[in-house]
Amino acid sequence: MKNETQDIFRSIPSVNAVLEHETVADLIEAKGRETVLSWVREEVDNLRQELRSGKFDSTNSNPIDFVADRIGVRAKNHDRVQLGKVINATGVILHTGLGRAPMSSSVKSALAEMAEAGNVEIDLETNKRRYRGHQLLSAWQTLTHCEDALIVNNNAAATMLSLQALCEGKVVIISRGQLIEIGGSFRLPEVFELSGVKLKEIGTTNRTKLRDYENAIGPETGGILLVHPSNYRVIGFSETPGIAELAPLAKKHGLAMIDDIGSGSLVDVTKYGLPTEPSFQDSIAADADVVLGSGDKLLGGPQCGIILGKNKFVEKIRQHPLARAVRVGKLTLGALSATLDSYLRGEEEKEIPTVTMLATSADNLETRAKKICEELADIDSLKLSVHQDRTPVGGGSLPGADLPTAVISAKADRFTADELSRELRLGRIRVYGRIQENAVLLDMRSVFPDDDSRIVLALRLIAENDPIRQN
């Protein structure tokens, strides 16, 4: 019995033997030796445990082939979770979990160009060093009529930096109705207080009047902060002063007027059937000292925080030590520059996917959905139908507002809705939809037209159980 046990354990292949196996050797070149080596060691140890417990049947499987096959599965599972392209078929254009604003083709070109050396902090004309992002100032001035601009890594950072640079140790007045919680359970009051200011809450959740602001101003007051509650909306009996009313009040008392518009819009979204959203240019025109917004929401650019405004305020923010901690890299600047170029040419509806998706008609979406279904009509195991629906814009923008859309309702004979959704998410072509009434819904509002054919292929591979599909 002892000799038999020893023979079984002698069958365990060495790590080096597994590394030389054809399947594993190919993976080393693709995934790297250290990654594959860690997998091999773990799977050899797993085989040892299975032999001890009697779970491994050596009569039906060669140990080294068994381990190599396990390594192959590990490699496929590794690919599934790697950062990469996913087709957003949720209908939510600014889906935070899927990276919010989709990028334009010009942004992709800019990223490839900026991957090499670029004039990030060099003024090529004077050969002197300048602040990061100085090349974008002219675009911001043309589009918004601001005096100065600074770009940081997100809008929360823009708010915290601006408050700390302009109002540290002083009182900042804000309406109670604007003390919101944003994604990831981050509460704005906590973010604001990290900047070293003292918040003075005024008014009520649904009503704040101009006189509430004026009555709150005292010798320790440093600024007024207006925050657009972009992830919720108060309806009914509500009132709050806008930037056009607050800016003159701040100027009268020598206070910094900071307007956080949230979604960073440069377009009038009402023409797409959506509610009014504050824009950079409107806030600048209303004489705000500093205007803050996101780059990856309605602007349709990369994730960043945008600080626009009067030079004496923005320059003070730029010189603050915290500015270096939250500055952006060259790829973000390249992507933002390409995005602004589309606005400068007046081609945002054609070139910037976020704006294109907002502007696309429901009839257009329905036509595309029906064409996808027609191309899969030969597959009896798939039950596809098209119907109308409505979808939110997402990304903490335009709360309570939605757009008409067209969705494909997909069912498969071999899968439940949960299983089909998983197959689509983890397939060779990764498609992310939503589940409703025991069907997977693929919403065309958030799908690039060029990805329609990829959705067709993804569904066909699943229905036909293609052997090259990821398992």
Domain covering 105-351 assigned CATH 3.40.50.720 in the classification? no
Q: Are strands 221-227 and 256-262 parallel, antiparallel or unpaired?
A: parallel
Residue type, 293: G
List residues bridging with 340 in a β-sheet: none
Report whether 37 contacts 19 (CB < 8 A).
Answer: yes
Q: What is the pLDDT of residues 271-282, one digit of tens each?
A: 999 888 999 999
Spell out the domain ranges in the chain.
Answer: 2-81, 87-98+356-464, 105-351
Q: What is the pLDDT of residues 396-444, one digit of tens each?
A: 667 668 899 999 999 999 999 999 999 999 988 999 999 999 999 999 9
Residue type, 215: N
Mention every residue, 6+ apart, whose C-beta is less than 8 A from residue 414: 381
133 phi/psi in degrees, rounded to 5: 95, 10
Mention every residue, 6+ apart, whose C-beta is less than 8 A from residue 347: none
Mention every residue, 6+ apart, whose C-beta is less than 8 A from residue 129: 121, 122, 123
May I ask the CATH architecture of the domain 87-98+356-464?
A: Alpha-Beta Complex (3.90)
DSSP-derived secondary structure for 67-93: HHHHHHHHHHHHHHHSS---EE-SS-T
Measure CA of the first residue to CA of the last residue in the chain; give whole Å. 40
- Total-model pTM: 0.86
Q: What is the pLDDT of residues 314-366, one digit of tens each?
A: 999 999 999 999 999 999 999 999 999 999 999 999 999 999 999 999 999 99
Q: Which of 173, 152, 180, 261 is nearest to 225 (CA)?
A: 173
- Beginning with the edge strand found earlier in the chain, give each strand of the sheet holding 434-436 in spatial order: 382-394, 397-412, 439-443, 434-436
What region, left, alpha or beta, does residue 173 occupy, with left being phi > 0 and alpha being psi -120 to 50 degrees?
Answer: beta
Give 10-residue mean pLDDT values along the chain (471 residues): 52 85 86 89 86 67 83 81 90 93 94 93 92 94 98 93 96 85 64 85 86 94 89 59 95 97 91 91 97 95 97 97 95 97 97 96 98 96 96 76 94 94 92 95 97 97 64 40
Which residue's entry shows tokens 């911001």?
Answer: 140
What region, left, alpha or beta, does residue 104 occupy, with left being phi > 0 and alpha being psi -120 to 50 degrees?
Answer: beta
Q: Would you give the DSSP letter of residue 269?
A: G
**3-state SS assignment for residue 360:** coil
Question: How high is the pLDDT of residue 4?
Answer: 46
Residue type, 12: I
